[in-house]
Structure 1
């Protein structure tokens, strides 16, 4: 059967424009499977994401087994701008009519010009917020005005403040919110008598050395020679942050604390996050607890969930606990070693049940007095981290099961907020397979989890460990919040929630409130499932923004560190990606990605073979594949672009 030609001439339509960094663009139109191509000279002052009216012509449809012809069009007018404000770096040249604001984050494809008469008081290389004022027809660039200065590009505070502005994250709380938080400090807690009293049980917190907010504490008491009572106590934030209050609305808007090197933008005012709610030692604190009896085989004999009052005996750092574990002595050694013993049983059970075991490595920086990075370290979790992690995973799992299942194991149909993690996308797994096989690792797609764990075990002491772990992480689906439970693929849990960090995550406050309703034999009639699903989506969205900010700021510090200490040095890396003009390489020593331009590889002229994810030399026919280990030289680290340029050795 032959496909008939379909002719459409000089049609008009509207759509949102996607402009490339080269200036040409595409407009998505529902009527066609393929986007309409807009040449560089016909974008008519449109900017990325604008709603535009376009005229297109010469669409001839397609024949069987033949590619569709490209539909070409031109922008007639901009109907609505997506945005008018942009963050960029001001460049001022002597004797020029304009200053120029360069935007490096691809939100706009042209520089914004600032007339000289509006440059008074401004300096070259300032990072600024600029507003587009006009774009005259005969001008190649829009004209703007500077409405905010963050400081000079590359400085710690400048980069952080501009990142927060870009994502509309306030770094301070409104006065009325602070006022409401201070009122709580003077309000006496009235429900002490209704809470389970845990003040006389040995209890402690274990947190990072620079932590200010302590969400969780562990208690342990020996009941019999082979039976212990363990308590997982979580700060009872929902007791103080009442639903519908100004504080609650502010916390919901923020949805998460944002952690970055050298500080935090908290979800709650510091008087709450660092003081009232935080489980400080030697102070009576309100908590929501999961308490259980466990035997030496790691079997939970019975459990209780409810509101408690605790008094932590000691605040530990991870480093202090690890030292106690290593030296087999110190404060609360018996309690810590017992908890570690049980945490290892929980880990083994998870892995036997099919959980993926990723031994994550974190990038840590040492900063000087001016907050410049002086040292970059790659730190992996130690036993102290694993101890806390396993007990928090257990609490999240058991709380979720308690709400979701009746006593006979049947589904309760109660509304709850779950932390869900879908199966990985098959295309991403195929790409992962392609990258790691040249390195000698075989991925069995039919027994994916077992195969991944086998690879993770194999790479434990190998130089490519960090990169393969990152590639596995990238191949996985993103975890999110939802009222629709599909389980957690990575952890191999059928039921899982986030309950253990309510000081820094709004999702956990929702989980606390719903659990409180059910413990009090109340059906959650006041809010619909749709209401909680909307809140879940909001928390997932805000989490992604926080992760993006944290990663981008970390990338800035990496680039700044490499620029100061490692230009001209040679390193080994793994090829992680190709484009038509470049090769992307993860530097093994720093866990950061750099780029080599194909045209700069002097040994041959290389071209991309997209199907096989390889590059091949025209003369020598040498092939480089994803996953190949190569030696490179660091030739540039551009702080403004957050980009590392490498030379092929």
Structure 2
């Protein structure tokens, strides 16, 4: 680390700071609270706070505050602090006068009562007694009406007025017979009630079986109790299988896909038509291969290499074109939205899409034509990118490597596609070197993996070895992601383009200063003037 130059700024030269939306809302609310009688429009707020945020972003912050009941919208885009509303108590003076509505998540206790963790960070958790839960379950997102009682030491309590989103409707428990009816006693301590099951809904389960029960309705007015049906019997499973399925179910993940989704997936034709190919860049004759973990079942990305006539190198980074098969509004699309992601455990994966897509149609398996989205880069003789292209393609993978196999070919200097692997590795090293030069930081941490036997029982724990083959893939995926993001951002300067960006925020200034202070005690001086000098 180099010793910093004098980085003190002259008084008055400090540039305006741009706040994130949440920080902006807090700053605006603080300004309104400190000046309760004044009215401000976005331009006045920007000047008062000395910030670089646009008028639109400040107006959005004001709207959020108004929606939360903290600000009051006036004419001419002006806002002021909204006075706290008071309500007359309907319980003979037991309430202190402060009431409201908030949204949050249910944190159930063993007693059957719950606390609602409100989404508003400045709001206390709301206590809800069992009689006021209104069928809400642990983890559900709810809307709660709250008030303050003098007897609760200033803490709010309330009642749930609406369940906005269920965390799960399936639970693991043991089936018992109680008189003429059956009940499932859930394993989870934060589900403090039994679920009644009619005999016609046992699905072959016997008393004391471990089962999965799905809640189908509620009975009773004062304190509703759930009833449901048995959807799976778990008693015959091995301990490992039971443990893994329990992790999924207890966290709200569905083990099976709905019948409608499976049927829709089965109807998709595997054939790639001439019309499909004509609408894409045909790269089937370009050397292409995948590099994945040894136990991978789906191959969702691939690399291609070609030496061009002008002596330049063309590198293609390809990912499966899922959108060709999953159409907006379809059953597959809705199920993928509901699941959001594939879930990985030590010995299995719960896919976001049925295996018909994840392991077949959208898996870039060797010796098969596949439809893909691609980022293609042209490198000159000095390994600089001189051209890039993004779009739909059709590819044909020539080989499937595991990381270990690709590394072995490079280490031993012999094997299939040796020339291509060495070229990719050389380019990836140059890309990595350039990233670090521009301020990237390497967080090299050890990853512990487990070796399992055929029954899925752990036999050994070991530290995953980070190979050059791993870094090769990482580097080209980073290149593709960064280049596509920049391409869309540049397009957005002319016309707004809705897009999801993956962004690593700038480090917290206070923490960086604290790090510099700690480093100085160890004899190192850090230059804090730019992200690049901090990284160096």
TM over 0.5: yes
Query: 1:450: how far off?
Result: 6.3
Contact 1:229-1:293 within 8 A present in 2 as well: yes
Query: 1:341: how far off?
Result: 0.5
What secondary structure sits across from 1:387 in the alignment?
helix
Counterpart residue number, 1:157: 241
Bigger Cα displacement from structure 2, 388-397 vs 176-185: 176-185
What secondary structure sits across from 1:231 in the alignment?
strand
Counterpart residue number, 1:411: 493
Query: 1:379: how far off?
Result: 1.2
What secondary structure sits across from 1:418 in the alignment?
coil
Query: 1:346: how far off?
Result: 0.7
Aligned positions of 1:12-51 closer than 5 A: 13=99, 21=109, 35=124, 44=131, 46=133
Query: 1:71: how far off?
Result: 1.9
Counterpart residue number, 2:153: 70
Counterpart residue number, 2:19: none
Query: 1:395: how far off?
Result: 1.6
Residues 296 and 360 of structure 1: is their aligned pair in 2 closer, same or farther, counting only changes over 3 Å? farther
Q: Matched residues in 1 for 2:276 and 2:406: separation?
A: 34
Query: 1:225: how far off?
Result: 9.3
> For 2:443, which of 333, 358, 361 is the aligned residue?
358
Q: Matched residues in 2 for 1:381 and 1:349: separation?
A: 20
Contact 2:300-2:363 within 8 A present in 1 as well: yes
Counterpart residue number, 2:150: 58
Bigger Cα displacement from structure 2, 11-20 vs 236-245: 11-20
Bigger Cα displacement from structure 2, 236-245 vs 207-216: 236-245
Q: Matched residues in 2 for 1:32 and 1:236: separation?
A: 39
| Pair 1:421-2:506 in alignment | no
Contact 2:268-2:325 within 8 A present in 1 as well: no
Q: Matched residues in 2 for 1:298 and 1:387: separation?
A: 15
What secondary structure sits across from 2:421 in the alignment?
helix
Query: 1:318: how far off?
Result: 0.9
Contact 2:485-2:501 within 8 A present in 1 as well: no
Query: 1:323: how far off?
Result: 0.9
What secondary structure sits across from 2:464 in the alignment?
strand
Aligned positions of 1:80-479 closer than 5 A: 85=169, 87-90=171-174, 101-104=185-188, 106=190, 108=191, 110=192, 112=194, 122=206, 126=210, 128-129=212-213, 131=215, 147-152=230-235, 155-165=239-249, 166-169=251-254, 171-175=256-260, 177-179=262-264, 181-186=266-271, 188-223=273-308, 227-405=312-490, 411-423=493-505, 426=508, 429=511, 446=528
Per-residue deviation, residues 90-122 of structure 1 (Å, max 9, x unmatched): 39899xx9988355474x4x3548799999955
What secondary structure sits across from 2:450 in the alignment?
strand
Q: Matched residues in 1 for 2:484 and 2:323: separation?
A: 16
Residues 179 and 355 of structure 1: is their aligned pair in 2 closer, same or farther, counting only changes over 3 Å? same
Q: Matched residues in 1 for 2:328 and 2:526: separation?
A: 48
Query: 1:206: how far off?
Result: 1.2
What secondary structure sits across from 2:234 in the alignment?
strand
Residues 100 and 448 of structure 1: is their aligned pair in 2 closer, same or farther, counting only changes over 3 Å? farther
Q: Matched residues in 2 for 1:319 and 1:52: separation?
A: 54
Query: 1:151: how far off?
Result: 1.6
RMSD of aligned C-alpha atoms? 5.0
Q: Matched residues in 1 for 2:490 and 2:357: separation?
A: 33
Bigger Cα displacement from structure 2, 43-52 vs 254-263: 43-52
Residues 176 and 36 of structure 1: is their aligned pair in 2 closer, same or farther, counting only changes over 3 Å? closer
Contact 2:291-2:401 within 8 A present in 1 as well: yes
Contact 2:288-2:304 within 8 A present in 1 as well: yes
Query: 1:331: how far off?
Result: 1.3
Query: 1:372: how far off?
Result: 2.2
Q: Matched residues in 1 for 2:365 and 2:498: separation?
A: 30
Query: 1:256: how far off?
Result: 3.0
Bigger Cα displacement from structure 2, 259-268 vs 122-131: 122-131
Query: 1:51: how far off?
Result: 6.0
Residues 368 and 197 of structure 1: is their aligned pair in 2 closer, same or farther, counting only changes over 3 Å? same
Q: Matched residues in 2 for 1:275 and 1:431: separation?
A: 51
Per-residue deviation, residues 233-263 of structure 1 (Å, max 9, x unmatched): 3333333444444444444444433333333
Q: Matched residues in 2 for 1:418 and 1:38: separation?
A: 37
Per-residue deviation, residues 166-203 of structure 1 (Å, max 9, x unmatched): 42535235346534543422563414345433333322
Per-residue deviation, residues 381-401 of structure 1 (Å, max 9, x unmatched): 311111111112112222233
Contact 2:177-2:207 within 8 A present in 1 as well: no
Q: Between Structure 1 and Structure 2, how many residues are aligned?
A: 427
Q: Matched residues in 2 for 1:324 and 1:213: separation?
A: 22
Contact 1:181-1:247 within 8 A present in 2 as well: no
Q: Matched residues in 2 for 1:335 and 1:380: separation?
A: 23
Residues 419 and 155 of structure 1: is their aligned pair in 2 closer, same or farther, counting only changes over 3 Å? farther
What secondary structure sits across from 2:475 in the alignment?
helix
Q: Matched residues in 2 for 1:31 and 1:310: separation?
A: 48
Residues 27 and 89 of structure 1: is their aligned pair in 2 closer, same or farther, counting only changes over 3 Å? closer
Residues 36 and 230 of structure 1: is their aligned pair in 2 closer, same or farther, counting only changes over 3 Å? closer
Residues 187 and 221 of structure 1: is their aligned pair in 2 closer, same or farther, counting only changes over 3 Å? closer
Contact 1:404-1:411 within 8 A present in 2 as well: yes
Per-residue deviation, residues 576-606 of structure 1 (Å, max 9, x unmatched): xxxxxxxxxxxxxxxxxxxxxxxxxxxxxxx
Q: Matched residues in 1 for 2:354 and 2:118: separation?
A: 46
